[in-house]
């Protein structure tokens, strides 16, 4: 089990589904293996070396105990890992829920496998399905999705001076719409604010890209090399933004609370973040089911089974933040 952390560390440069990570053919791994092999060894030494006999604590955490510590501002470096489930109440489907998830709704594209619509090689050969999908998911449209209670709660953490960072797997931009400072964000899977060529990386105005994809339903063409352009969201097989690699080690080392919200923990390397925080860092999962290494709940772990919004409502009720949550939520509207 201890080697799992080392293995995940080797994949930090590319986005890969867990199910296909080991057998992935992506060439992006090679350049980063040596550096992250060394980093992962250091992590293993820290986690399982001199502190290997350190007790996690006899008393188990509870939702109420964490809420009280939040209310009393006992946390100073909260790290949030946010997935698609945090945006479901905004009308944005998650990816894997049977029947309603985005991957189920993509069946009419006759994809070879659901994740292909976010696969760089597939986009290179078959760009139309993603272009059509952009009609649905492009953020900032008039009357489009607005931040949820989960986003408002993260804004409270920032206002209270407790938020260190949000690592969001989402590309909907709702964290920014909630007023959270971009310095507090790591958009692990990119965003729709810029666009570039998938071959030569030349940039295209995002307004021009949007016009081609959303208004004309055409594939944007690079003026430099003639290849395809897409928004700078991270497809499978592409490297994560450098900001992820620059911040994740210090953030997970410093975290005094990890909050995981609405994610299946199915995509590496972001799925590994819960295993990277220190062994005495409490971890709170707000999700419809246990996932990742929360499948075996430890004494430091708290699991709230249900929707993210229901989870933050309960936390705020226990912390005495109910009116504060409502105020922040209305500010986001």
Encoded tokens for 14: 């590319």
Domain coordinates in residue numbering, the chain: 62-88+145-189+239-332, 93-144+192-233
* Average pLDDT of the segment spanning 268-288: 95
How far apart CA 181 and CA 210 sit, in angstroms, is 25
**Does the annotation place 281 within a ligand binding site?**
no
Q: What is the pLDDT of residues 172-225, one digit of tens each?
A: 889 998 999 999 999 999 999 899 999 999 999 999 999 999 999 999 999 999
Q: What is the pLDDT of residues 118-157, one digit of tens each?
A: 999 999 999 999 998 888 788 877 777 889 999 999 999 9
Decide if pLDDT at 285 tops 90: yes
Q: What is the percentage of the chain residues whose pLDDT exceeds 90?
A: 59
Between residues 94 and 23, the one the model is more confident about: 94
CATH number assigned to the domain covering 93-144+192-233: 3.30.1600.10
| pLDDT, position 107 | 74
Please tell me whether the overall predicted TM-score, pTM, comes out greater than 0.85 for this model.
no
Confidence of residue 286 (pLDDT cuts 50, 70, 90): very high
Q: Which of 5, 151, 189, 191 is catalytic?
A: 189
The structure tokens 């296909």 sit at 20
Phi-psi region of 143 (alpha: psi -120 to 50; beta: other; left: phi over 0): left
| pLDDT, position 16 | 52
CATH number assigned to the domain covering 62-88+145-189+239-332: 3.40.50.1220
Q: What is the pLDDT of residues 47-83, one digit of tens each?
A: 433 333 333 333 688 999 999 999 999 999 999 999 9
- What contacts 15, CB < 8 A, 6 or more positions away? 188, 189, 234, 235, 236, 237, 238, 240, 267, 268, 269, 270
**Does the annotation place 222 within a ligand binding site?**
yes
Decide if pLDDT at 10 tops 50: no
Residue 82 neighbours by CB distance under 10 Å: 27
Question: Is residue 151 annotated as part of the catalytic site, yes or no?
Answer: no
């Amino acid at each position: 089990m201890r080697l799992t952390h080392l293995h995940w560390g080797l994949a930090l440069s590319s986005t890969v589904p867990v199910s296909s990570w080991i057998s992935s053919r992506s060439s992006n791994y090679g350049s980063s293996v040596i550096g992250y092999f060394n980093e992962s060894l250091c992590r293993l030494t820290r986690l399982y070396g001199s502190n290997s006999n350190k007790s996690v604590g006899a008393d188990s955490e509870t939702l109420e105990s964490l809420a009280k510590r939040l209310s009393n501002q006992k946390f100073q470096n909260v790290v949030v890992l946010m997935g698609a489930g945090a945006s479901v109440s905004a009308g944005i489907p998650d990816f894997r829920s049977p029947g309603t998830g985005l991957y189920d709704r993509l069946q009419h594209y006759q994809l070879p496998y659901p994740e292909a619509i976010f696969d760089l090689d597939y986009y290179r050969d078959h760009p139309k399905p993603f272009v059509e999908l952009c009609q649905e998911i492009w953020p900032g449209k008039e009357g489009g999705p607005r931040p949820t209670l989960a986003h408002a709660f993260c804004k409270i953490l920032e206002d209270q001076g407790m938020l260190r960072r949000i690592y969001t797997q989402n590309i909907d931009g709702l964290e920014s719409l909630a007023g959270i400072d971009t310095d507090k964000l790591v958009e692990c899977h990119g965003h729709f604010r810029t666009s570039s060529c998938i071959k030569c990386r030349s940039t295209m105005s995002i307004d021009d890209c949007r016009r081609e994809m959303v208004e004309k339903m055409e594939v944007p063409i690079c003026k430099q090399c003639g290849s395809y352009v897409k928004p700078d969201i991270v497809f499978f097989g592409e490297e994560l933004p450098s900001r992820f690699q620059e911040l994740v080690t210090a953030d997970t080392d410093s975290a005094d609370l990890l909050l995981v919200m609405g994610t299946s923990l199915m995509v590496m390397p972001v799925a590994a973040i819960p295993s990277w925080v220190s062994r005495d860092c409490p971890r709170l999962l707000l999700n419809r089911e246990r996932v990742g290494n929360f499948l075996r709940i430890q004494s430091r772990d708290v699991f709230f089974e249900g929707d993210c919004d229901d989870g933050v409502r309960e936390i705020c009720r226990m912390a005495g933040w109910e009116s504060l949550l409502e105020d922040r939520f209305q500010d986001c509207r």
